[in-house]
Amino acid sequence: MDPLFSLPLTEWSQTPSSAELHEAIGALENGQVLFFPQLPFVLREEEKELLSPSLSNGRAKNISLDPSGKLKHIDVTPEQHRLLQAMMERFATSAVALVRNLFPGYAATLERARTSYRPVEIAGRTYSPVKDDKRLHVDAFPTRPMRGRRILRLFTNINPNGAPRLWHVGEPFEDMAQKILPKVREPIAIAPLLLAAVGATRGVRSPYDNLMLGLHDNAKLDESYQRSTLHHEIAFPAGSTWACFTDQVMHAALAGQYVLEQTFHLDIAAMAEPQRAPIKVLERMTGRVLA
């Protein structure tokens, strides 16, 4: 399967043809990355001063904007704060419009989550294996139980020097799960309750969340898997945009600087084919209800 499905959109508010809409949702839910090679997010002149890694305080991988409007992980002047907040809010608004136009069936349960700005070069940064996003993984939230809801992310490369964002995209979700799932050890029954009680998680983790975290961690920790698994290398050019279900697509970000990203959460009932959701795949594999 080609990891990319390209769409010739040039405007964030553009509505594709009905044929393009049908193909796009099929590709997305099948585990492909939607690629918009001619869809840039253009910075305003005053926003160009935000193209600096010094805006990050270094305590997290990314600068984030909560839906409430609060900026986190920043080291900025009051004027830079105003500009940064406005730029990220403008991007979030554009991302919402694009996703709603592409997937009108998602609109009723589509939740706008955090917006992030990634001004620091990935290559050369070091983390523990579990936190290293240069290793192939699917996304799972340690503190926010999803209980089967989907994680949809949209990215755009705003690098002013033309440098691409380099990704690896791995094998299909079910193929990965067949290899990694036997290594996943689920916690004792009371552990999710205790984590929620002390505020370590926002609610109780479901068995699905435990399995997804196990797949995330074990895939990253498995050196043999990381070395030998098949993958595609993709360079997303400056001025391009892409989106995928990151809880389904095995991905790794290896290099690049200056990327904006919008996260969405989605109920699987809104999907055109809910049986393609990771929770349904894992329920078929384990023979039990996971949320």
Instruction: Report the predicted TM-score, pTM, of the whole model to 2 decimal places.
Output: 0.96
Task: Say if 291 falls within a structural domain.
Answer: no
Task: Find the domain containing 23 and state its range.
Answer: 4-286
CATH number, position 153: 2.60.120
Task: Say if 220 falls within a structural domain.
Answer: yes
Total of domains in the chain: 1
Per-residue pLDDT of the chain (291 residues; tens, 9 = 90+): 899 999 999 999 998 899 999 999 999 999 999 999 999 999 999 999 999 999 999 888 899 999 999 999 999 999 999 999 999 999 999 999 999 999 999 999 999 999 999 999 999 988 999 999 999 999 999 999 999 999 999 999 999 999 999 999 999 999 999 999 999 998 888 888 888 899 989 999 999 999 999 999 999 999 999 999 999 999 999 999 999 999 999 999 999 999 999 999 999 999 999 999 999 999 999 999 999
Task: Say if 269 falls within a structural domain.
Answer: yes
Q: Output the CA torsion sign for 52, 124, 88, 165.
A: positive
**Angle between the N-to-C axes of helices 173-180 and 278-286, in degrees from 0 to 180, rounded to the nearest 10:** 40
The separation between CA 186 and the C-alpha centre of its own chain, rounded to angstroms, equals 24
Task: Say if 254 falls within a structural domain.
Answer: yes
Task: Say if 257 falls within a structural domain.
Answer: yes
Task: Say if 229 falls within a structural domain.
Answer: yes
Residue 85 and residue 87: Cα distance in Å, rounded?
Answer: 6
Output the six-digit token pair for 112: 């706008």
